[in-house]
Amino acid sequence: MKRLVIKIGSNILASAEQGLNTERLHALTRDISEVAGKGYNVVVVSSGAVAAGLKKLGLKEKPKDIKLKQAAAAIGQSSLMWAYEQNFAGFHKKVAQVLLTKDDISNRQRYINAKNTLFTLLSYDVIPIINENDPVAVDEIKFGDNDMLAALVAGLVEADMFVILSDVDGLYSKNPAHKDAGLIGCVDEITPDIEKMAGGVGSAVGTGGMYSKILAAKQATGHGIPVIIMNGKRSGLLTRLIRGESVGTCFKPKSRRLSLKKGWIAYGVKSKGAVYIDDGAVNALLTKGKSLLPSGIIKIEGHFDVGDYVSCMNKEGRKIAKGLTNYSAKDLERIRGKKTSEIEKVLGYKYSDEVIHRNNLVLV
């Protein structure tokens, strides 16, 4: 059975003045239920808890104070889930609430536990409703925007398609407020020019604009998952999409899907530091599929230990890879630029010939 991850933004579901938009939520649950009834496992990643709680607190806009934001999320989350449960029940669908933080994804065991839980729910035809666990999240472990959370979930459940519901029809050639702005139907590759095209700020109740959606699409397509950004305020588009019609903007996936482990390395876990490598090492990683050796390292950045994940940067400071290091930053300062045959002589011991083995390294 095909798996579909649908991300619903705050500005579609709620506003600070009105709270939850019950009419729109009902229309969305109808469309999602119809898709689920056509042989799809559906996972919903929903924003809206904070926005739903603002009205109850008498606030006009999303607070900058994280404690107040957490309080709004705690109040709004129950309203949001109750609304989902009631609406989906009207279409004979069962739902489950799943709250995640960045820490749940970066911890390998909890990542696997989350995956198992979601697959079990789907096997019982239950629609998981996922949100960031805002009431307990703090700045260090926040996703920053549910677009990125949804991209991580798409990789986690190995989705066949990732749909981002926006308040516009898709990606435009320029700000859609301009008359000559044109909707881009398909994007073969997310380039720096495409990212620049999507620059902008988010809404009054959400944290993401088109730029964050493009970054989420870039992450998901890297997993080999096609991405659609389309208008979440228009009914019937989801069913048209699964019928094969062209709606919104389609982002083509990379031809090769990352393995679950390498997808987690690339996007699920935060780097503790960085190693800068010379042109020869860059070429070995990018074109020859080699491991990273100490001879190619020219600079170390950050404080990290054996088993931490680090970014691999070229001389210009562009990240090209990420992986699990076999040596600490302190040790790498001593062996960088040296041959593998010299490691034991310099350190007095040797964990491995490779600083990062190819099996624990992913190009980004």
The CA-CA-CA angle for residues 275, 143, 216, to 5°, reads: 80
pLDDT band, very low/low/confident/very high, at 215 (cuts 50, 70, 90): confident
Which tokens sit at 123?
A: 């096997």
Question: Alpha-carbon Rg of the chain, whole angstroms?
Answer: 22
Domain ranges of the chain: 2-262, 271-363
Helix axes 66-89, 22-36, angle to 10 degrees: 60
Q: Could you tell me which of 211, 213, 215 has the C-alpha nearest to residue 165? A: 213
- Residue 316 is which amino acid? E
CB 4 within 8 A of CB 160: yes
The span from the CA of 325 to the CA of 275, in Å, is: 10
The CA-CA-CA angle for residues 151, 154, 155, to 5°, reads: 95
HSE value, Cβ hemisphere, 13 Å, CA-based, for 154: 32
The phi and psi torsions of 14 (rounded to 5 degrees) equal -155, 160
Lowest model confidence (mean pLDDT) among 50-64, 69-83, 155-169, 311-325: 50-64
Q: What is the mean pLDDT of residues 15-42?
A: 88
The span from the CA of 169 to the CA of 228, in Å, is: 10
HSE value, Cβ hemisphere, 13 Å, CA-based, for 81: 17
Q: Domain 2-262: which CATH class?
A: alpha beta
Question: Under the phi-then-psi rule, with left for phi > 0, alpha for psi from -120 to 50, and beta for the rest, what region is 244?
Answer: left
Global confidence as pTM: 0.79
How far apart, in Å, are the Cα atoms of 226 and each of 43, 253, 254, 363?
15, 5, 8, 19
pLDDT of residue 309: 92
Predicted confidence (pLDDT) at residue 255 exceeds the cutoff of 80: no
Query: Read out DSSP for 125-146?
Result: TEEEEEEE-TTT--GGG--SSH
CB 13 within 8 A of CB 236: no
Q: What is the mean pLDDT of residues 28-47?
A: 94
User: What are 171-210's pLDDT values in tens digits?
Assistant: 988 777 777 778 899 999 888 888 887 774 443 333 447 8
The span from the CA of 163 to the CA of 160, in Å, is: 10
Query: Read out DSSP for 169-234?
Result: SS-BSS-TTSTT--B--EESS--HHHHHHT-----SS-S--HHHHHHHHHHHHHTT--EEEEETTS
Which residue would you say has higher pLDDT here, 64 or 10? 10
Q: Which CATH architecture has domain 271-363?
A: Roll (2.30)
3-state secondary structure of 247: coil
User: What are 102-158's pLDDT values in tens digits?
Assistant: 778 877 788 889 999 999 999 999 999 998 776 565 544 355 568 888 998 998 898
Predicted confidence (pLDDT) at residue 283 exceeds the cutoff of 60: yes
CB 154 within 8 A of CB 105: no
In sequence order, what are the beta bridge partners of 183?
172
The CA-CA-CA angle for residues 90, 1, 42, to 5°, reads: 40
